[in-house]
A and B are shown apart, each in its own frame.
Chain A
Amino acid sequence: MKAGSNRIEAVVTNVVAVNELVKRFHFERADGGLLPTFSGGAHIVVEMRDDEKTRLNPYSLMSTPLDTRDYRVSIRRDDVGRGGSLFMHRKVKLGDRMVISNPVNLFSLDLRAKKHLMIAGGIGITPFVAQTSQLAAGTGNFELHYAVRNDALATYADVLRERHGSRIHLYRDDHGETLDLARVLATQPLGTHLYVCGPAGMITWVRNTAAAAGWPAERVHFEHFAAPQPGRPFDVRLAVSGVEIQVGEHESLLEAIEAAGLDPPYLCRGGVCGQCETNVISHDGKFLHNDHWLSEEDRQSGCKIMPCVSRFEGKSLVLER
């Protein structure tokens, strides 16, 4: 599954502090060539070597798909997470060499849409930066609604306004501005597709509001990377390879399996793509399912886990790996 050249040697060619929480990183190929073409909504996985530890985090590409001399990602500092964003913010400097993956798109535009209605919250703006560039270059019709805490944290609002003018609608929390979603939904032409990217609460709210207004699920698209959650360490037996591993507080089960020298399948590392799905042979304890992939039946059965984001608490866990 992982044959071919998924890993690209890259150099950090720019680091820009966008505001107090967000930094932007530019990557170019170490050998100077063009990076692979991508479509708006795609992400790359960035490999971070932090002493003994390797972390692999997904970030949406926000550069225009029409120019692949470099890739740009914007990363919000998360002071309580597992440290991927802290590593990027504190340790990564201009000129560093890093390994990135080919682009993967799990949040692509539906090109049949007559119009694309986009709802962003906070750092959830990044995939839309690329998608709006892609649409504006063609004949794509779109409208973007962007909710932020305040002007200082309105990442890229200025750039988007400059590029797309009145198609961009900004809502600042501290000014008491709120998005009247029901009204926005009610005024869309037939054949509009709705896209949302932002915090979990926002995604749920948008999906529920759209469902209540009669929008079919096929016309509502959401990008929801579950960041791997830190948690208590736990022990796992990998039955096929005959290895015992411990999953540390700040690593994911997937990372711990990889650290044991295995090469399990993965794609999103965010609980949405389904690639890392792993069978549970036996367990005594409780699962902390953080993914968006398994069905309710799968969870009830206790027979499956998504190691990229999910964890376990209890006496013993044996996996088919």
Chain B
Amino acid sequence: MGINFRQETFRDDYSFKNSPEQIRRFPFPFPEDKYMYSVNIEPHVPGLKDTVFEHLFDVDEHYISEMQDRALVLAEDPLRCQSLPHMELAGWDTLELLMTEKAKSYPDLFTLTRDGDKWHWINRPLGIDDHFTFGDSSTLPYGPLEYITRQSQGDFAVLDQRDNNLWMDAGIVTTQADWSLDFDIGMNFFEWHAPVPLAHQMGVFTRALKFLMALQQGQPSRRHNWTMTINSRLDTSPENFHKWGTDRATVTPENVGQKVHLRVEVQMFFRLPRSNALLFPIRCYLLKMDELVTSPKWARRFHRVLRDLPNELAEYKGLVRYRPTVVEWLSKYDDGAPTSAGLGPD
């Protein structure tokens, strides 16, 4: 079960790509041939072999390279990781959850030894071997949240729960679809969701908030979100819009296969035990159009989803400019045959 970690980049020469095995385990998010917002929340139960849901926290072939990309982003912009003072305990909760789960899921990669509050953490892929005191930040090189999320793929928002709402009071955000932690820090569930079209009127957010506030320890949930990205850039942030925004104008029929990516976020919800905060990991997976069409079912279905996507959603997701080119390209892979039920590649 050894993972073949790839050495690759998410900027400059964009050498990122997926192995055939990684393509087959891609979390394709469309259960049917069309897409609209909904309260698409389901239990996050581990165990499905050969999918990204085999373990609570998936580690894959991009792990080392994604962590290197995160370090580059943080070096340029330390505000990508923030934690308001009352969120320190939630940071320790997060560290405990990620360390115990990683060590349990991947014993050959990670080892955690606990003797009371004296902890010993070994991360073999990243060459880390640290002794520290649980609960004492001065024994770690960073705060607990930053320490462990520099070693965990995906972004993390940590929400404080109070006054019948959730508040974005801590997080680390370097692989995001055009939103900013520095802008959203301290906002509540409705405030940070304000830019989203249609979903408010559909009652998606009031219902989702009720569900999240009642979420219990030991019963994590998840949902999918998706967008598209031109070039395999993880850091599509508002802060760096000048570096990637213009890429959207570079899509041509010839380069769709390599340049255009389906970007899927597996978003999870965990109740944290000591702080009663909510942890929201947002794990991003990229798939090139050339890789997507290796599954005839995915090619047909994504063609139909993208072609029929409501304009409000296309605009919000920033796809308007290149959508026609991509739909035209995908249409060659859609013979009109019906698609089978379920998410798998067939």
Q: Which A residues form the contact surface with B (CB < 8 A)?
A: 1-6, 36-39, 41-42, 65, 102-105, 108-112, 217-218, 267, 273-275
Give chain B residues whose Cβ lies under 8 Å from the Cβ of A37.
96, 273-274
- Tell which of A112, A273, A274, A275 touches B86, judged by Cβ atoms closer than 8 Å: A112
Closest A-B pairs by Cβ, 5 of them: A3-B43, A37-B273, A4-B219, A108-B276, A111-B86
A103 to B215, CA, bound (A): 11
Residue B67 at the chain A interface, CB threshold 8 Å: no
| Residues of B contacting A104 in the complex (Cβ-Cβ under 8 angstroms) | 216-217
Known A108-B161, A112-B86: A3·B45 in contact at CB below 8 Å: yes
5 A–B contacts, CB within 8 A, in A order: A102-B219, A104-B217, A108-B276, A110-B86, A111-B275
Chain B residues, CB < 8 A from A109: 276
- Across the interface, do A267 and B160 meet the contact criterion of CB distance under 8 Å? no
Q: Nearest-CB distance from B95 to chain A (Å)?
A: 13
How far apart sit A38 and B218, CA to CA, in the bound complex (Å)? 11
Chain B residue contacts of A218, Cβ below 8 A: 162-163
CA distance A261 to B45 in the complex (A): 24
CB contacts (< 8 Å) of B160 on chain A: these are 111-112
Among candidates B85, B86, B219, B274, residue contacting A39 with C-beta atoms closer than 8 Å: B274
Q: A5–B275 contact, CB under 8 A?
A: no
Closest Cβ of chain B to A252, distance in Å, is: 18
Taken together as a complex, chains A and B put the C-alpha atoms of A45 and B292 apart, in Å, by: 47
Chain A interface mostly: loop
Min CB–CB distance A35 → chain B (angstroms): 10
Residues of B20-53 whose CB lies within 8 A of A: 43, 45
Of B43, B217, B220, the contact of A103 (CB 8 Å cutoff): B217
Contact B276 A105 (CB under 8 A): yes
Complex interface: chain B residues within 8 A of A2 (CB): 219
* Interface presence of B89 (CB below 8 A): yes
Residue numbers in B under 8 Å from A41 (CB-CB): 276
Contact A102 B218 (CB under 8 A): yes
In the complex, A275 Cα to B207 Cα: how many Å? 11
Tell me if B210 counts as interface (CB < 8 A to partner A): yes
Which residue of the partner chain B has the closest CB to A293? Answer: B210
B162 and A5 contacting across the interface, CB-CB below 8 Å: no
If the complex has contacts A4-B43, A111-B160, A112-B86, are A39 and B273 also in contact, measured as CB distance less than 8 A? yes
B273 touches A1 (CB 8 A): no
CB distance from B66 to the nearest CB of A (A): 28
**CB-based contact B43/A39 at 8 Å:** no
Extra 7 A-B pairs, beta carbons < 8 Å, given A4-B43, A41-B276, A218-B163: A1-B43, A37-B274, A42-B276, A109-B276, A110-B86, A112-B86, A267-B214
Q: Which residues of B contact A102 (CB under 8 A)?
A: 216-219
Question: Which residues of the other chain, A, contact B45 by a CB distance below 8 angstroms?
Answer: 3-4
Task: With CB as the reference atom, state the residue of chain B lying closest to A39.
Answer: B276
Enumerate chain B residues within 8 angstroms of A39, measured Cβ to Cβ.
273-276
In the bound complex, CA of A274 to CA of B96 (Å): 30
Contacts of B163 in A (CB 8 A): 217-218
For B84, B210, B216, B274, the residue with the greatest tally of chain A CB atoms inside 10 Å of its CB is B216
* A65 partner residues in chain B, CB cutoff 8 A: 274
Question: A20 CB to closest chain B CB, in angstroms?
Answer: 34
| Minimum C-beta distance from B140 to chain A (A) | 17
Whether B273 lies near A111 (C-beta < 8 A) is no
- Distance in angstroms from A8 CB to nearest chain B CB is 9
Answer whether A4 and B273 are a contact pair too, CB < 8 Å, given A108-B161, A111-B86, A274-B210.
Answer: no
- Given A3-B45, A110-B162, are A36 and B210 neighbors across the interface (CB < 8 Å)? no
- The complex places the Cα of A108 from the Cα of B159 at a distance, in Å, of 14
Could you tell me the distance between the alpha carbons of A109 and B277 in the complex, rounded to whole angstroms? Answer: 11
Cα of A65 to Cα of B162 in the assembled complex, Å: 20
Question: In the complex, which residue of chain B has the Cβ closest to the Cβ of A111?
Answer: B86
Cβ–Cβ contact B219 & A36, under 8 A: no
Cα distance, A1 to B221, chains bound together (Å): 8
Report the minimal beta-carbon distance from B282 to chain A, rounded to whole angstroms: 21
Residue of B nearest to A218 (CB): B163
Which residues on A sit within 8 Å (CB–CB) of B218?
4-6, 36, 102
A36 near B217 with CB under 8 A, answer yes
Bound: A140/B162 CA distance, A? 18
Chain B residues 262-306 with CB under 8 Å of chain A are 273-276
Inter-subunit contact B274/A6 (CB<8 Å): no
Q: Once bound together, how far apart are the Cα atoms of A227 and B284, in whole Å?
A: 45
Question: CB within 8 Å of A: which of B216-247?
Answer: 216-220
- A38: B residues at CB distance < 8 A: 217, 273-274
How far, in whole Å, are A273 and B45 apart by their CA atoms in the complex?
Answer: 23
**Interface digits, B70-89 against A, CB 8 Å rule (1 contact, 0 not)?**
00000000000000111101
Give the residues in chain B near A103, CB-CB below 8 Å.
217, 273
- Measured between beta carbons, the chain A residues less than 8 angstroms from B276 are 39, 41-42, 105, 108-109
Q: How far apart are B139's CB and chain A's nearest CB, in angstroms?
A: 16
Bound-state Cα–Cα, A38 to B162, Å? 17
| Contact indicator A36/B161 (Cβ below 8 Å) | no
Picked from B87, B96, B219, B273, the residue with its CB within 8 Å of the CB of A6 is B219
| Interface residue from B214, B219, B274 paired with A275 (Cβ < 8 Å) | B214
Contact of B219 (CB < 8 Å), options: A3, A105, A110, A112? A3
A11 to chain B, nearest CB (A): 19
In the complex, residue of chain B having the shortest beta-carbon distance to the beta carbon of A216:
B163
Q: Given that A4-B218, A103-B217, A112-B86 are known contacts, is A36 also in contact with B273, CB under 8 Å in the complex?
A: yes
